[in-house]
Amino acid sequence: MAAPLAFEKRESPLRGGQVRAFIVGVVIALLLGSILLLVSGHSPVEVYAKMFDSAFGSKRGISTTLTRAVPLGLAGLAVAVAGSMGLWNIGAEGQIIAGAIGAAWIARLGPDLPGPVLITLMLVAAVVGGGFLALGPALAKSRLGVNEIITTLMLNEVAIRVVRYLVNGPWKDPEGNNFPIAPELPEQAALPALFERSNIGLLIGAVVLLAFGVYTARSAWGYELRIAGSSEKAATYAGISLKAKIFTVLLLSGAIAGLAGGIELTGSSDRLVEGVANGWGYAGIIVAALALMRPSGVAAVAVAFGAVQVGGLSIQTLGVPAAIASILQALILFGALSAAVFTNYKLVRRSARSTAPAVAS
């Protein structure tokens, strides 16, 4: 009788495991998605070709994909920065809203400011707004040990209710035909165009993602972050202040999500509305999970997800429900996370009489 298989932790993670897991996840998603499409009476080749062409087949498609990747990437980075230390920021959605509120508030205070000044102040206010919403969970976790998942998640609802109050109350557009919307932003508050549908928010997002990816990978701060996330005892032995690290990381995480809200408001919207976050915060959790909570991998995953979203909208012209794109995202997530297990673990055969591994596979 064959010895049973069991998982055993590797002495060191497989090199390139992050990329490998994502590729395996995409392949699994495409195969399972093909079965789903065939059952529903559609050609997988035709559907996938349409999705790819819509996302990358033209300058317009590429610009749309990259524009969607910006809030996805920043929200994913916000979650990944906290995740690098073993923390879960589930409040990126609310922090994006808080960032948008901060940016809109500056636009109301200085509607006649020059464009560069106004946009800069709006983005700074967005960073402050997102960080402010994360301040409570950061203090509660670092000082009292309160679970950050609960506090960040609950504050999403607070942010939703605040923006709902504003656009239905003091900030409601008197010329908005009674719709719950704020007045249009000043014309100079819009981010300058880059190419086709993209704007310089793409460059801002790219710089932030690249800077954090490099900094966390090569700096002492990033090293301390990983040590603190892997072992509290090791962090204490190394002289790392866990309380200070937890507070800083959660606050920084909220600030990054707030920046996403500011870029979304100044780049893709012309006014503050209830749905300004557009689900980017929750999608960012998926992006961070697929990147294995490593800031360095967030950008690539965000672009891939942006492409899936753009392609998902385009396949409706073929009679395919756009929900297929959401299913593909879920399949990519489960496939990649399943494959990621083998980055840190391997299958071994164990002797029937002993728990020691017999033959590694």
pLDDT for 188:
94
Task: Identify the residue with better confidence: 355 or 166.
Answer: 166
Residue 221 domain flag: yes
DSSP letter at 143 equals I
pTM of the model as a whole? 0.88
Which residue is it, tokens 């950050």?
148
β-strand partners of 357: 350
Residue 310 domain flag: no
pLDDT digits (tens, 9 = 90+) for 3-14: 577 777 777 666
CA distance 17 to 23: 10
pLDDT digits (tens, 9 = 90+) for 150-198: 999 999 999 999 999 999 999 999 988 889 999 999 999 999 999 888 9
Residue 12 domain flag: no
Which residue is it, tokens 């509607």?
111
Task: Identify the residue with better confidence: 117 or 224.
Answer: 117
Residue 41 domain flag: no
In this predicted structure, the answer to whether residue 309 has a pLDDT above a threshold of 90 is no
Residue 291 domain flag: yes
Helix, strand, coil share of the chain (percent; to 5):
70, 5, 25
Instruction: Please state the rounded mean pLDDT for residues 106-116.
Output: 94
pLDDT for 361:
44
Boundaries of domain holding 114: 78-302
Residue 164 domain flag: yes
pLDDT for 16:
65
Residue 202 domain flag: yes
- Cβ atoms of residues 285 and 79 within 8 Å: yes
- Taking alpha carbons only, the member of 83, 94, 281, 301 closest to residue 209 is 301
Residue 32 domain flag: no
Number of domains comprising the chain: 1
pLDDT digits (tens, 9 = 90+) for 78-104: 999 999 888 999 999 999 999 999 999
